[in-house]
Each structure stands twice: as C-alpha cells, then as structure tokens.
Amino acid sequence: MGDLGYFDMRSKQFTFFSIPELADWSVSAVLVEADAVWAGLVNYPEGADRSGGLIRYDLSSRSVTRYDVPDIVLTMIRHDNALFIGTSNGLYILRDSRFTRFRFEPNLAGDFEPIPDSVP
C-alpha cells in the first residue's frame, strides 16, 4: 500500500501519508516523533525474512532518508540524541548519522556481553 497513517481521536478522522519507499515492504517497527516517523522494513518471502533497512520520514518536508540496517528492525526508542534500534541480530545505535552495532555473545560464565561490531 505504501502508506502510514494515524487516527485522530478528537476529529475522529484517519490521516494517511503516502510513502512510495514503503510500497514493496512490510513495516516491522514504528517510532513516531514530533518531527518524523521511523519505520523498519521487512519482506516475508518463502524462506528467510529479509531486512529492507530503516527509513525516516520527515513530516514537514515529506522527504525520506533510508538507512542500511542488514538485520530486521524489531523495536526502536529515542534516548537523548541517540536512536536505539533492537534487531533480529543485535542492537544498533544511531547517533549523528553514524551507526554503532553491538552483538551479544556469552562469556565463559555464560553471561551475555555486548561486543561492538563494525557496521558494514
């Protein structure tokens, strides 16, 4: 469909934003902020699911910025100037247009430790 939308409780009306970059994807996670909407993209073909990355839709300019996230975005939260992105294979942090990725691996005691990983 290629749209994101919301229902305004006061006016009792739906509003939709047509975003062509969404047309071929399902949305796996959404974060709505005052100035933008973030959406994780995924395809569910036969076999393994496929990540379409992350997009940021600027509400005032109606422009889309796409970020290459090779893992499927499952959840997002903003903390200060950083966007924390939980994925199917670790945690990404987007700060100042730069990603840091962490994988979690067990140590000798069996506890999981975050390991910084270079982002492709």
Question: By the 8 A CB rule, do 21 and 4 touch?
Answer: no
In the predicted structure, residue 50 carries a pLDDT above the cut 70? yes
Cβ-based neighbour number of residue 45 at 10 Å: 7
- CATH number for the domain spanning 18: value is 2.130.10.10
- Tell me the pLDDT tens digit for each residue of 25-49: 999 999 999 999 999 999 988 878 8
Cβ-based neighbour number of residue 27 at 10 Å: 16
Q: What is the CA angle 51-56-62, rounded to 5?
A: 130
Count of structural domains within the chain? 1
DSSP state of 72: P
Closest CA to 75 of 15, 27, 18, 12: 27
In the predicted structure, residue 119 carries a pLDDT above the cut 70? no
End-to-end CA distance of the chain: 30
Percent residues over pLDDT 90 in the chain: 56
Contacts of 82 (CB under 8 A, 6+ apart): 93, 94, 95
d(CA 103, CA 67) in angstroms, rounded, equals 19
- Tell me the pLDDT tens digit for each residue of 71-118: 999 999 999 999 999 999 889 999 998 889 988 888 899 888 888 876
- Residue 27's domain comprises 3-117
